[in-house]
Structure 1
C-alpha cells in the first residue's frame, strides 16, 4: 500500500466544493419545503457551501491518506456520483415543464453540480494515487495524443448552450439552468480527458513503470497494473492490453511507435514476473 501523503491543494479544493455542494443542496432543499423567501434560501445555500468546505478541510487534515484510498478504488470513486443522481431526474422534469427557479436551482442545479465536481474530485484522487504508486522512474515514455472529440464534441457543447439560451429567452429558467450545467460539465470533462486541446495542463504521455502502465492526460492520470493484464497484442494499427471489461486500446494515430511500446511492455512484464502472454 502506498505511503500516506498530504493531499494536494487541488484535492482539498475539489473535496471542499463537493461537500459544500452536497451540504448546501440538502440544507436548501429542506428550507425550500418550508416556503421561505428567496433571500433566506440563498443564505441557507451559501451557509451550506461554507460548512461543507470546512468539512472538506477538516477531513483532509484528519486523514492524509484520503486521496490515495479514494483514488485507488474505482467503486469508491463511483460512489461520488450517487448524490447527484436525483439531479438527472430533476433535469428531465425541468426540460419538459416549467418549475420555480428557486427549487430548480436548489434541487437540480446542486445535483448536477455534484456530478461535475464529483467527476473532477475522482480524477484528482486517481491521479494522486497514480503519483504515489509510480514514484519510480519510468522504463520508457512516449508522447501520446488522446482521442480527439472532434467536431461532435464541439457541436454538442454548442447545442446545449443554445438550448440554454433559447429556454432562458422563452422564460423557462429551470430548463435553461439544466442545459447550461450539462454544457459546462461536458466541457470540463473534455478538458480533463484531453479531448479539448488547451494550452494548459501537462503534455499527454504513455509511461511504462515497473508496477504498470500510466496514461497521463493534461490534468489527470490513469494507471493499469500489470497483474490485471492478461494479454498484450498488436492488431493491425491498434495495440491492445486485454483486461476484461476495461481493455486499453492505443491506436497508431494516438501513439506512433506501437511496436516499441509493445516490446517494452513485454520486457517489463517478464521482469516483473507477471502472468501475461503476448498474442501475435
Structure 2
C-alpha cells in the first residue's frame, strides 16, 4: 500500500468528498431543472437546488463510507464508469425537450449549466475511481517506463480558447445564456481534454506522462489520471514507420512517431513481458 504524505488527505477521503459533491450536484441539477420545468419561480427553484446540493453531498459521503471499495468497483469497467453519467444524460434531455415544447425558456439555460457542472463532477469521480482501481490491480514496479511526449500546438489552443471565450462573452452580453452555456461547455471540455492528454503543459506535472509496461498490461500515466490496458485486451501490436499501434477490440491505442522516448526498448519489453510478437512494417 502507498503511504499518503503527512498533512494530505488520503486517496479514499478525496474520493469520498468527490463522490459526495458529484451526487450533490447531480441531485441539485435534477431538482433545479425539474422545478423550472414545472413553472416554479427561479428564486424558489434555486433555493430547492441548494438544499438538494447539501443533502446529496452528505448522502454521497455517507454512501461511500458504508460501501467498501466503491471507487474500485466503479473504476473496474468502462460500462460502470459510463453509468455514473446517467444524471448527466437525464438533465441534458431537458435541453432538446425545452426547445420543442412549451417549457419555460429558463429551463434550457438551467439544464445546460447543470449538465456542465454534473459532467465535470462526474469526470472527476470516474477518473479518481479508475486510478484507484489501477493502483489495486498494479502493485509491482514497471518492467519498463518511458516518457510520453505528446504533440503540443499552443498557438492553436490559444486561438481556439480565445474564440470560445469571445463567443461566450458575446452571447452573455446579449443575454443569450443558453448559447453562452454551450460555448462555456465547449471551452471547458477542450481545456480538460488537452490537460488530460498532456497537450497543455502544466508546471510540475509534465514528467508524469509515461507509458509503463507491467506484467499485467500497459499503464498510461497522465498528469491527473491513469489508464490501464491488460494484455488480453490487445489483439495485435504493430510497429509501423515509427508509429506504435496496439490493436484492441473497438478502440486502438496508438503512439505517433517520436511520441515515445525510446520506442525500440518498448517493443523489446512488450515481446519479452507479454510474450507477443510485434509486427514490424514499413511503407517506404
In structure 2, C-alpha distance between the alignment counterparts of 1:74 and 1:204, rounded to whole Å: 22
- 2:241 is aligned to 236
For these two proteins, the number of residue pairs brought into alignment is: 268
* Structure 1 portions without partners, runs of 5+: 1-5, 271-275
CA gap of 1:44–1:88, structure 2 versus 1, over 3 A, is closer
1:158-186 alpha-carbon deviations (Å, 9 max, x no partner): 22221110011112122213322332232
Query: Are 1:269 and 2:270 counterparts?
Result: no
2:180 counterpart SS class: helix
1:27-76 alpha-carbon deviations (Å, 9 max, x no partner): 22332244333332221111111111112211211112111111110111
Instruction: Measure how far apart 1:244 and its partner are.
Output: 2.3
In structure 1, C-alpha distance between the alignment counterparts of 2:42 and 2:154, rounded to whole Å: 42
In structure 2, C-alpha distance between the alignment counterparts of 1:68 and 1:15, rounded to whole Å: 13
CA gap of 1:177–1:56, structure 2 versus 1, over 3 A, is same
Query: Are 1:245 and 2:255 counterparts?
Result: no
Instruction: Measure how far apart 1:100 and its partner are.
Output: 6.5
1:162 counterpart SS class: helix
1:146-161 alignment, distance < 5 Å: 146-148=150-152, 150-161=154-165
Q: Which moved more, 1:50-59 or 1:111-120?
A: 111-120
Q: CA RMSD in A?
A: 2.6
- TM-score normalised to the size of structure 1? 0.85
CA gap of 1:87–1:24, structure 2 versus 1, over 3 A, is closer
In structure 2, C-alpha distance between the alignment counterparts of 1:41 and 1:200, rounded to whole Å: 42
- The match for 1:135 among 139, 142, 148 is 139
Instruction: Measure how far apart 1:156 and its partner are.
Output: 2.9
In structure 2, C-alpha distance between the alignment counterparts of 1:91 and 1:153, rounded to whole Å: 28
1:174 counterpart SS class: helix
2:229 counterpart SS class: strand
* Structure 2 portions without partners, runs of 5+: 1-9
In the alignment, is the contact (CA less than 8 A) between 2:99 and 2:108 conserved in 1?
A: no
In the alignment, is the contact (CA less than 8 A) between 1:28 and 1:45 conserved in 2?
A: yes
In structure 2, C-alpha distance between the alignment counterparts of 1:153 and 1:92, rounded to whole Å: 30
- The match for 2:71 among 50, 67, 70 is 67
In structure 1, C-alpha distance between the alignment counterparts of 2:212 and 2:186, rounded to whole Å: 33
1:208-261 alpha-carbon deviations (Å, 9 max, x no partner): 111111100000001110111222221111112222222221223211211110
CA gap of 1:31–1:254, structure 2 versus 1, over 3 A, is same
- The match for 2:120 among 116, 122, 126 is 116
- The match for 2:52 among 43, 48, 70 is 48
